[in-house]
Every structure is written in structure tokens, then in C-alpha cells.
A and B are shown apart, each in its own frame.
Chain A
Amino acid sequence: MSGKEKNLTAMLRWAIFPILAVAAVLCVFTGVSNLENGRTDEGRTRLEDAVRKAAVTCYATEGIYPPTLAYMEEHYGLQVDTGRYTVDYTVCGSNLMPEITVLENEG
């Protein structure tokens, strides 16, 4: 083995661990970032589902859809993270399913 090849092998041997470590850290950060994005989408879907379920539970129990979102929070244990999401709850009539839209707040 020539002197040049020896130097290259030694350099690779020294560099391989830092490269692997940096790659592993990058992988972890990418994974956590993807997880965070998925969690946000999942959270919005889950909140919309929870509002819909609370509205139907109210209709099944009382015979009318809840008049406001606050009514569901007070009587049906609904919890809304208002810092993160905005819920648009439009009542069309006491016996018609309200229009429910959940939007994620910016920032």
C-alpha cells in the first residue's frame, strides 16, 4: 500500500464516526420534525371529530344540537386548545347538524 493510500484510509477511519454521528442526529431531527407535522394535522382532525361527537351526543341526549361551542365545553367535557386552533361553529337550526370547521392558528 502506498503512502497516499495509507493517508486516505487513516482519514476515512477518523472521519467515519463523526459522519455517522451527524447522519444519526440529522435522521432523529428529521423524524421529530415529520412527527410534529403529522401531529398537527392529526390534532386538527381529532378536534373536529371531537366537536362533531359532542354535538351528536348533545342531540341524542337533549333532542337539539348545542347552541354554542361554549355549551359543549360546559356540559359535554369538550376541550379546545384556543391558542392552537380556531373552531368555527355555525348553527343552522336546532335539528340540523351545525357546520363545524377547525382551522390551525398561524405562528
Chain B
Amino acid sequence: MRWGREQHHIDGVFVLLLFGVFACCILLVLLTGAGAYQRLTERDAASYERRTAVQYVAAKVRHADTAGGVFVGDFDGTPDSDGDTLFLSEQVDGATYYTRIYWYDGAIRELYTDAEGQYAPEDGDEVLSARSLSFSQSGSLLTIGATDDGGTRSTLALSLRSGGEAEP
């Protein structure tokens, strides 16, 4: 009788142990899957950030690449080959409009305004987050440097098809 009761006791412990091992295995599989998924999404995000910043600026430049239509300068509109803002200008009904592309407060921003007005960097629309964005222009060669949130720096050199200079 006593032997039978002890046998039952050991069976209970065994079942509980088996349940515990099973639960731990499920947890381990879940954690491994979650880790793999997290690594994939991080890699995807890093790849997106790395290529999108320079790709965006390159696409905007190609759309506005007219003679004298692309230049680098300070935010207030003063041309400077190592300025912090890229200007894309266009004529609409005889008036000049600028699309400014620049970095401010953790994001690459864009501001489309008339050439005459006074504007502040915070007026621009946030396009995507980044750590920095820099421009330099030497003749028809425009160099764009962007650092993404992960700290990876990408540089793109573009040759302006218009030559970069306004026709006389």
C-alpha cells in the first residue's frame, strides 16, 4: 500500500517535470524566432536608411537639373560651395521658387518657398530621420554625404547634366 502511494507520488513529479521541460522548449523556440525576426527587421531598417537619404537627394537633383537650377549655399540663400543647404530653383510665372534640402534637428527636411521670403529651418517638412547631411559643389560635380541614424555614412557624387552654371 505504502509502495503504491510512493509510486503515484513519483509519477506526479515526473509529469510536472515533463511539463516544465516542454514549456521551456516552447519558450526557447519562441525566443529564438523573435531574435531572428528582430535581426531581420534591424537589417532591413539599416538598409532602408542607408540608401534612401542619398537616393532622395539624387532624385530631387535629377528632376531640377537645369542650368543654374542646382546650387549649394547657406540656408538664407547665399551661395557657398560648402554650404549646408541644397537649393533647387524653378521659375513659375516669372517668379523664382526654391526647394531647400537640408538637415535640421535630427531629420532631412525640405522647404519649398518663393526666393524672396525669410524662413527658418524649422519651417521645412521632415522627410526622413538622419544624423547629418552635407553638400559640396565643385563646378558640375555635386557631392552629397549623409549619415543615417545608425551612424553609417554614405556619399554620392553627381555630375550635373546641365553643367551647374546658368547660361549667359
Contacts and interface: CB of A to CB of B under 8 A. Distances in A.
Interface of A: 13, 17, 20-21, 24, 28, 53, 56-57, 59-63, 95-97
Interface string B73-115: 0000000000000000000000000010000000000101000
Contacts of B16: 17, 20-21, 24
A63 B63 contact: yes
B158 interface: no
Contacts, number: 40
A67 B9 CA distance: 69
For the complex of A and B, list the 10 residue pairs with the smallest distance between their C-beta atoms, beginning with the closest: A60-B56, A17-B12, A60-B55, A63-B63, A60-B52, A56-B128, A63-B59, A60-B59, A97-B125, A53-B48
A24 B19 contact: yes
Contact of B23 (A20, A24, A63): A24
B157 interface: no
Interface residues of B, number: 22
A96 B109 CA distance: 11
A21 B52 contact: no
A17 B19 CA distance: 12
Contacts of A57: 48, 52
Nearest to A25: B19
Contact of A96 (B9, B13, B19, B125): B125
Nearest to A35: B30
Contacts of B99: 95
Nearest to B9: A13
A82 B62 CA distance: 36
Most buried by B among A13, A21, A56: A56
Nearest to B44: A53
Interface in B2-22: 9, 12-13, 15-16, 19-20
B9 A56 contact: no
Interface string B104-139: 000000101000000000000111100000000000
Contacts of A17: 12-13, 15-16
A21 B9 CA distance: 14
Contact of A56 (B20, B52, B112): B52
